[in-house]
Structure formats: structure tokens, C-alpha cells
A and B are shown apart, each in its own frame.
Chain A
Amino acid sequence: MHTLSIYGARQGLLSGKFSSVELTRCFLDRIRKFIDLNAFITICEEQAMKSARKSDEKLAANDGIGELEGIPFAIKDLFLTKGIRTTAGSKMLHNFIPPFESTVSQKLLDAGAVFLGKTNMDEFAMGSANITSHYGSVINPWSSGDKKLVPGGSSGGSAAAVAGHLCIAATGSDTGGSIRQPAAFSGIVGLKPTYGRCSRYGMVAFASSLDQAGPITKTVRDAAIFLKVISGYDEKDSTSSHSPVPDFESFAGKSAKGLRIGVPKEYHIDGMSSEIEDAWRKGVDIMRDAGAEIFEISLPHSKYALPTYYIIAPAEASANLARYDGVRYGFRAEGAKSLDEMYEKTRGEGFGEEVRRRILIGTYVLSAGYFDAYYMKALKVQKLIKKDFDDAFAYVDLILTPTTPTSAFAFGEEPTDPVTMYMNDVLTVTANMAGLPGISVPICVDKLNRPLGLQFLAPRFREDLLIQGGYVLEQNSNFPTLKEII
């Protein structure tokens, strides 16, 4: 039962093969059993069972059944959940119980989803290995033997929970790759929608112009079902889009014949392993065999995306995180004798090292005398990156690249300097910089049995193409899905 997809679970529930209570119980038991993965920060057992019973009543009465009725989900601890503690992986919010629900989680609740709990994440979504959480690191369910692998980040808890079958699907958020990169590391599907496709209301903000919520699922079809539920304009988010929401699921199974797929030459980056190159080639072959046309394309400003990202994202973060001052909610340090001291102690003790680093970077690049050289220049480069994609999408429908330059690394083998760590995002940040949708689909495992993923990028609001291409890739990759945690 635990390996069910949304699609499979929905069929089982609708046909009465099992109840939501049984399904929910199964996952709650697994969460307890594999508690060492540390995928969850908060488990909502009581509430989950209550909502499962409610779903069962609806299913029995065949009345008001939502699209996700009775299906157990996990929610990244960055989405505010009314009455359920929401920490964003930080000590700063260790005691924060939101008085309102995020739009994305509300849409899931309205569709009948059952919330199992809140998943672990890098603090304030800043990280690529889920090792910056105040609540401890998350372990990748693909780990075997003594070597524990990181799940990727920042949505590492959600990725581990989905890959380890501790839930059927989970929400993630992607600012520079935080959905796609952990999905690739964990052998599952992660979809970052177009900026503005899903409301950001009630998501703890990291970098407002880049943040986007999205599905982390076991299959491409599930990502399509999930995405449709959480998409749409929200009057509470002025940056959300009125763009119509198609029935994404109907694109799962659509032939790749005639699809024009671009392979950007700049994504063959220095130091990328041959296994990644092989995986990429495999993906290209699959698509070609399925009838797609393949083109080599150029995205000439790609190499500037990562450094530019690490100016814009921290700049916005430095302002977004200013509200955590100990005055109104969350952590407040003891013993301060003045307002300034209260700020210093609260923010010094409440934020972890990586968050403090990025606040400092952001503050620096916005400071008088540096603003033009860093921030303004970064905005100009961002325009060039967008233009690269606009030019490319005039010729191709989709772009296919590896999701990450390496497979998941083991604890203790992670890069020690932050800049090398930031390289994890080098292939994913471009989509955020350009506001484009992207999907990571597992393609194969490397010789250490660690999953590798490929990503499709599409023009703005063309997630339908991601589903179409991603489904073809998934169906033909023979990826050895993880059945059980060892």
C-alpha cells in the first residue's frame, strides 16, 4: 500500500479497496518506523486521523469528494498551517503556530488531502543538502550501509518522505532548485511551476521574486494532478497569475512526436561527471526514439546565472527575514538590555550560520556604494538570461538538461566551502531567474546506486509540456524505483 501513487490511491479509495483511515494509518506507522530519516519536524497524527475519517465519510456517502480526497500528504514546514506549528526549519520560529493557512495548503485541504505532518527543510529554505535545519539533517532513503546520503535541499524532508514512502506526495518550494534538486537526489519527481502559477500567500518568504511552491511526487502523472489543485490566481498574492489552469493530467501520455527539444551546450559544465553526461544522453535518446526532434541550442548567459542568483536571492532574503526580530512572535533571546541588543542576540542566536551568511551577503549587495555594482548589475544579467530563454523557446518547445551536476553525496563528503555547495544549484537556478517552469524526472542510478535526474524546462505557463515530455521520459527510463528503505 505504501508505494501507491496519488493516481493509484485515488482509484483504491474510490473503489473501496481500502479506506483513507487505513491508508493514513499505514503512513503514520511508516513515519514512526523510519523516524531516523528525520523527514518530519512535526507529525500531526490526531489531525490526520480525524481528516481521514472525514474523507471516508465523504467517500462512503459519495458526496463532496475532492480530487485528492483521503490521500495522505506531507507539507514542507515553510507553508503556514493554521494551528499547526510552522518553523521553516529555524529556531527563530520554533514556537510559531500560524493563525491562518497558506493558500497552497488550503487548496490541498479543500481537495480532501490528509496532512500527515510538516516536513524538515533547510533553514528558511537556504541550502542544498538539508543540513542547515535547526531540527537536524534529513537522511536520503536511498542510503545503504554506513554511508548516509543527503536528500538534497531545501525540500529535503519532503523529498525523503516521498522517496521513502512516508507519504504519497509532498509540497515543496523552489527558489533556486529546492524542489528539483532534492527530487533528483531522491529518485522522485519534482515540479517547479512558472513563477506566479501558485500563490505564495502563507509561504515563509525566502526570495519573493523567485520563490514558487510545487509538487514533489512519485510520478509525473501525480505531479500533474497535484499541480492542478494548487494552481491559480490568488487575490492575496499580487504576483500570482490569471493564466488559465489546464487539466495537466491530460498531457500525461501525449506522444512526444513532433516535440522540439533543445539541449543547451552551456550545461556541459566543468567537473560534471561522465555518468551525468551518460544519463543526459540516455534522456536525449529516449526522447528522440519517442519521436521528438533534438536540437543543440545555446543559452550564452547561463554561466552568470548562479552568481547572479546569489546576489538577488540574498538581497531579497535580507529584507524578508528582517521581520524576525523577536518583537511580535517566534524566538526572543533573553537578557538583552536595549532594543539593539535584543535584535543582535535574537537574530544571532535564532538564525543558523547559513541564514546569517546570506543575510550578510544580501545586506552587503544592497548597501550604498555596492548596490549598482552588484544588485543593479544582477538585474541586468537576469534580463539577459531571460532573453536567452525567450530566444531558445522561439525554436524549441522544451529544454532538456541534467538536474544536478552530481548525484547525492554522503554526510561528511559534502563540500566544506559554501561556494562549492552553491554549485549544486548551478543547473536549476536558471529557471528561477527566468521565472520558467521545470520538472525533474529520475532517469537512472549511478554506479554507487544513487539516483540521477534530468530536468525539462518549458516556456512560462507551459507546464503542460513538462508533463508531456516528463511522462515520456519516465515511462521509458526503467528507473529502479525504491521499494523499501534498507
Chain B
Amino acid sequence: MKYVETSTGKWEVVIGLEVHAQIISNSKLFSSASTKFGSAPNENVSFVDAAFPGVLPVINSFCIDQAIKTGLGLNGNINLVSYFDRKNYFYADLPQGYQISQYKHPIVSGGYIEIENEDGEIRRINLERIHIEQDAGKSIHDQSPTKSYIDLNRSGIALMEIVTKPDMRSADEVTRFVKKLRSILRYLKTCDGNMDEGSMRADVNVSIHRPGTEFGTRAEIKNVNSIKFIASAIGFEIDRQIDILESGGVVDQETRLFEPSTGKTHMMRSKEDAQDYRYFPEPDLPPLVLEQCRIDEIRSTIPELPDAKAARLQRELDLPHYDASLISSEMETANYYEAALSHLPFGDNEAAKMLSNWMLGELFSYLNKDGKAIADCNISPKDLAELVVLIRREVISGKIAKEVLKLMWDSGKSASVTVEENGLRQITSVSDIEKCLVGILEEHPDKVAEYKSGKEKLFGFFIGQAMKKMQGKANPQVLNDTLKRLFEK
């Protein structure tokens, strides 16, 4: 257990999250309007989303399937009966004057995600629940000095609120949790996790206490929309609360906002001003009753998730834990790796490891340099696999392979075409190499004499000269062996 140490002693930090994840669905939770991001303001608004008189919500069953899938993917219990409630508050971008949410009886109870700490410790972060609710619209205040504008495109979009137990103990754990959660949701294809588009955002509850004592009073930081901001907000909040407590004050239960430009949080409302949402059962919707067979059917569509995938890669391919978890951490990376793997000889674990090295090493550094996602990479998985095969078959050396990959990155051509077009095929013929070496030995009789008199370091000199002559294409092993043999003669 990690603590924050100050001059007065140790503090334990307790953090819980409420993550709002937008459900991937073409239409909204209770209407048939589109959920397309980036549409013109108020383009995707039905009469239901604008809360016209007389309209009624109708559940989009695909969104329910998505929530069930998420619940199963996060190891939760799917409740066969759940209810919708109205959460009442007034705001200009909340057309109904209430949000339809699930309060007392959510669709998913419990669940957990396992994260690996920096020191390799596996920590289980438990979930309290997952419920479904509709999003509000957006108020735009910066378009006019006197007016506010409302965009209802987001109004009615389906969200899952994923609520954790207060199980996290540091900003680092929270960062790892959110990344893992996002990765699982992407694997499940239930949320795209694009925080910059608002598809995922979190309310962060932070409190501190002395180890061994009861939890402290928490402050809630609302609506933080990037992993970096979450970490900064937590860092600031821990310092703020320590300052208060160490100077003899008390932390108030309040709602705060994170300001990205300053990295600080500030008070939004105090406990006294806390809203009374007057929840009550949504009378326009019957209870959400699920058949077990529907849940089973959805369970059968759940893909292999990151932890299982990493374990399998380790088991089947003998990959190191580090490689396996890195490959599995993002679905796109895993997909790329597995697609490439299918082009390697089955059971060739050395090739599998080489593939991992080339992907996580060289390929990733190119991607990072150009800021590209692996899905947009113009070297196909098949091409990368071919590069590995060429190395394995000694058509090229590892050193040449780096050059080949660079050429492939620039041209988009396959590995073999690149090798042939640029004449990079490795020279493995013993007689060719011997011929070259003999020539070099003849050119440097003095060096040969020095070598023979005991200056063995000169071995490298002859290898270097030969490589230079053969444009680096000589098979290093054959070259070494041949030179040794020539000297022994």
C-alpha cells in the first residue's frame, strides 16, 4: 500500500470514479435520431429529444444489449429486472426538465477490473454498478455577449455510468484503471472511449485519511475529460486536502470543477447547495425485463478481452509478460499482431517473439514519430510478418531489415519487393564471401601479419571491410565462420 508522506506523517488516498461512457449505437437511447458526432447544431434532434408535448420514450434495445455486453465484459451481474427513474433538475439544455436514468435498480450490479501496478502487483478494482441514462444537450455561451445557444444533438444519446467502489489509492492507479476500462470497452465495441469527443468522461471522488483510520470526507470533481486531467485533478485535490487537514481545517463534502488551464480545481457547489433530484420511477417506461437467453446470447459474442489475450499469448507463444500485455492492451495492436502472426509459420515461437520486437520496437517508433495509429499504418500486418520471415530465412540480416522497414514505411511496398528492388538480399554463398575475404586479406598483408602475431582485435577490421565491400549484405554468421576458417588455414 502506497501512502503520501509529508512532514506530519502518512496519508492514505481513496479514490472512486463515476465514468460516463457513451454507448456505441447509431441512434439515441429513446429516439431514432442519429448519434453522429460533428453534425451541424441541432441536426440530430427528434421531437423526443427536444421534449415536445406528448412524446414518449421508446427504449432502443441495441443500447440495452450494449450495456449487457459491457456488464458481462466487466464481470458484473446482469439484473433480469431493472427500472428507469426520472432525475429532476432544470437546465436549458435538458429539454424534459429531467434525465431518464436508473437509480435504485440498475441493469448491472457489481463487477471488477484488474490492473497491474507499476511494481507488477495485480489490483482488483471493484465496480458498484453500471446503469443506463440519457445525455443532456449542450449550452453554448461564447457565441454572443447576450445570448446562450442550445445544441440538442447530444440530448438523448445513451450513456453508461460505470461506478467504481472507492478502491483506488493513487492517481497512477486511476490512470491505469481508466486506460484498462477504455481498452475493454473498445474490445467490446460498446464505447469508443474518445475522451476528446466527450464519449468518455469521469466524475472523480477523492478523500484522504491517516492510515488505519476511517475514510475522510470526499470531494467530487465533476466531468473531467482526459486521463491527463484526471491525474492532475487528483494530484491537486490530494495536495489541497492535505493542506486543509494539516492546518487544522476540515474538508467539506463539495462538488468541484477542474480547470485544465491552471491545473487546479475550484468549488462548484457546496453540500448545502446540493441538488435534490427528486428521483421517482419513470412512468412512461415499463420495467426493463431481460430474458436469460438474451444475456447468454450476448455473452457468446464477447471477444477475448485483454487479460485473457495476454495470458494466452504468453502461454501459447511463450511471449514475455511484458510483450503479451503490451500487445493486448489495445485492441488495434492486438489485432495487428494476430493478423501478422497468422502469416508466420505455425508454432514458430521465435518468429512470434521477433514479430513482437519488430512491432513494439521499430514499427511503434515510426508510428509515434508520425503520430499515427496502428490502424492507419501503411505497412500491413502481412508485410511485417514477411519481413520477419525474410530474417528467419536469412534472406536479409536484422541490420538490413531495419533499412528495409524504413523503405517500406516510406513506400508502402511489401518486404520482398523492397528487398529485391533495392538489391538488399543477403549474401550467404560461402564461395562469394570467401572470394571477397581473400581479396581483402591480399589488400592488407600488414594487418594480416599483425593479426597472426596476436592482435586478434583486427578480426573485426576484416569483417568491417568485407561488409563494406558487400554493402552490408553478407550473412554475418557465414562471414565470421569463413574468416575464421581462412585464418586457420
B51/A100 in contact, CB under 8 A: no
- Minimal Cβ-Cβ distance residue in B for A326: B92
A202 interfacial by beta-carbon distance below 8 Å: yes
| A328 / chain B contacts, CB cutoff of 8 Å | 50-52, 95, 150
| A239 / chain B contacts, CB cutoff of 8 Å | 56, 283-286
B402, chain A: closest CB distance, angstroms: 62
A322/B88 in contact, CB under 8 A: yes
Known: A323-B95, A323-B96, A366-B280. A88 touches B90 (CB 8 A): no
Tell me the count of chain A residues lying within 8 A, CB to CB, of chain B: 43
B283/A208 in contact, CB under 8 A: yes
Q: How far is the CA of A328 from the CA of B54 in the complex (A)?
A: 14
Q: Mark B77-104, 1 if CB is under 8 A from A, else 0.
A: 0000000001010111001111000000
A238/B57 in contact, CB under 8 A: yes
B196, chain A: closest CB distance, angstroms: 28
B280/A99 in contact, CB under 8 A: no
Task: Kindly identify, within residues 41 to 80 of chain B, every residue whose CB is under 8 Å from any CB belonging to chain A.
Answer: 47, 50-59
A99/B86 in contact, CB under 8 A: no
A223, chain B: closest CB distance, angstroms: 24
A238/B54 in contact, CB under 8 A: no
Stretch of A151-159, A367-375, A462-470 on the interface side: A367-375
B316, chain A: closest CB distance, angstroms: 48
Q: How far is the CA of A204 from the CA of B56 in the complex (A)?
A: 10
Q: How far is the CA of A316 from the CA of B283 in the complex (A)?
A: 8
Q: Mark B183-199, 1 if CB is under 8 A from A, else 0.
A: 00000000000000000
Q: How far is the CA of A204 from the CA of B52 in the complex (A)?
A: 9
- Minimal Cβ-Cβ distance residue in A for B150: A327
Task: Kindly identify, within residues 335 to 372 of chain B, every residue whose CB is under 8 Å from any CB belonging to chain A.
Answer: none
Find A322's partner among B54, B90, B150 (CB 8 Å cutoff): B90
- Minimal Cβ-Cβ distance residue in A for B96: A323
B280/A322 in contact, CB under 8 A: no
B88/A339 in contact, CB under 8 A: no
A325 interfacial by beta-carbon distance below 8 Å: yes
Q: How far is the CA of A162 from the CA of B150 in the complex (A)?
A: 44
Q: How far is the CA of A205 from the CA of B282 in the complex (A)?
A: 13
A205/B51 in contact, CB under 8 A: no
By CB atoms of chain A within 10 A, which of B59, B88, B96, B283 has the most?
B283
B26 interfacial by beta-carbon distance below 8 Å: no
B276/A80 in contact, CB under 8 A: no
Q: How far is the CA of A80 from the CA of B95 in the complex (A)?
A: 18
B278 interfacial by beta-carbon distance below 8 Å: yes
Q: How far is the CA of A450 from the CA of B413 in the complex (A)?
A: 95
- Minimal Cβ-Cβ distance residue in A for B53: A204
Q: How far is the CA of A207 from the CA of B282 in the complex (A)?
A: 11
A235 interfacial by beta-carbon distance below 8 Å: yes
Known: A238-B284, A239-B286, A315-B280. A98 touches B92 (CB 8 A): no
| A316 / chain B contacts, CB cutoff of 8 Å | 280, 283
Known: A328-B50, A328-B95, A343-B90. A238 touches B278 (CB 8 A): no
B276/A367 in contact, CB under 8 A: yes
B398, chain A: closest CB distance, angstroms: 64
B47/A100 in contact, CB under 8 A: yes
| A322 / chain B contacts, CB cutoff of 8 Å | 88, 90, 96-98
Known: A235-B58, A319-B88. A208 touches B52 (CB 8 A): no
B59/A238 in contact, CB under 8 A: yes
B148 interfacial by beta-carbon distance below 8 Å: yes
Q: Mark A68-98, 1 if CB is under 8 A from B, else 0.
A: 0000000000011000001010000100101
A253, chain B: closest CB distance, angstroms: 36
| B279 / chain A contacts, CB cutoff of 8 Å | 366
B56/A201 in contact, CB under 8 A: yes
A319/B92 in contact, CB under 8 A: no
A363/B52 in contact, CB under 8 A: no
B296, chain A: closest CB distance, angstroms: 25
Q: How far is the CA of A204 from the CA of B95 in the complex (A)?
A: 15
- Minimal Cβ-Cβ distance residue in B for A204: B53
B11, chain A: closest CB distance, angstroms: 33
- Minimal Cβ-Cβ distance residue in B for A102: B54
Q: How far is the CA of A403 from the CA of B50 in the complex (A)?
A: 39
| A367 / chain B contacts, CB cutoff of 8 Å | 276, 278
Known: A239-B286, A322-B98, A339-B148. A368 touches B88 (CB 8 A): no
By CB atoms of chain B within 10 A, which of A239, A315, A325, A339 has the most?
A325
A238/B90 in contact, CB under 8 A: no
A201/B54 in contact, CB under 8 A: yes
By CB atoms of chain B within 10 A, which of A79, A99, A339 has the most?
A339
| A238 / chain B contacts, CB cutoff of 8 Å | 56-59, 284-286
Q: How far is the CA of A134 from the CA of B24 in the complex (A)?
A: 45
Known: A208-B283, A238-B59, A315-B280. A325 touches B97 (CB 8 A): yes
B478, chain A: closest CB distance, angstroms: 75
B241, chain A: closest CB distance, angstroms: 27
A371/B278 in contact, CB under 8 A: yes
B284/A319 in contact, CB under 8 A: no
Q: How far is the CA of A195 from the CA of B223 in the complex (A)?
A: 41
| B278 / chain A contacts, CB cutoff of 8 Å | 318-319, 363, 366-368, 371
| B88 / chain A contacts, CB cutoff of 8 Å | 318-319, 322, 366
A91, chain B: closest CB distance, angstroms: 14
| A208 / chain B contacts, CB cutoff of 8 Å | 283-284
Find B98's partner among A88, A209, A319 (CB 8 Å cutoff): A319
Q: How far is the CA of A79 from the CA of B285 in the complex (A)?
A: 20
Q: How far is the CA of A303 from the CA of B64 in the complex (A)?
A: 41
A358 interfacial by beta-carbon distance below 8 Å: no
Q: How far is the CA of A329 from the CA of B286 in the complex (A)?
A: 28
- Minimal Cβ-Cβ distance residue in A for B152: A328
Q: Mark B135-161, 1 if CB is under 8 A from A, else 0.
A: 000000000000010100000000000
Known: A238-B284, A315-B280, A363-B278. A323 touches B54 (CB 8 A): no
B53/A200 in contact, CB under 8 A: no
| A343 / chain B contacts, CB cutoff of 8 Å | 90
B149, chain A: closest CB distance, angstroms: 11
Q: How far is the CA of A318 from the CA of B86 in the complex (A)?
A: 11
- Minimal Cβ-Cβ distance residue in A for B59: A238
Q: How far is the CA of A169 from the CA of B195 in the complex (A)?
A: 57
Closest 4 CB pairs of A and B: A322-B97, A208-B283, A366-B278, A209-B283
A-B contact pairs, 12 of them (CB 8 A): A100-B47, A102-B54, A205-B54, A238-B58, A239-B56, A239-B285, A319-B278, A328-B52, A343-B90, A363-B278, A367-B278, A375-B280
Query: Interface residues, chain A, CB within 8 Å of chain B?
Result: 79-80, 86, 88, 93, 96, 98-100, 102, 200-205, 207-209, 235-239, 315-316, 318-319, 321-323, 325, 327-329, 339, 343, 363, 366-368, 371, 375
User: Given contacts A200-B54, A316-B280, A327-B150, could you give 14 more A-B pairs where the C-beta distance is less than 8 Å?
Assistant: A86-B53, A200-B56, A201-B56, A205-B54, A235-B58, A238-B57, A238-B286, A319-B280, A322-B96, A339-B92, A366-B279, A366-B280, A367-B276, A368-B278
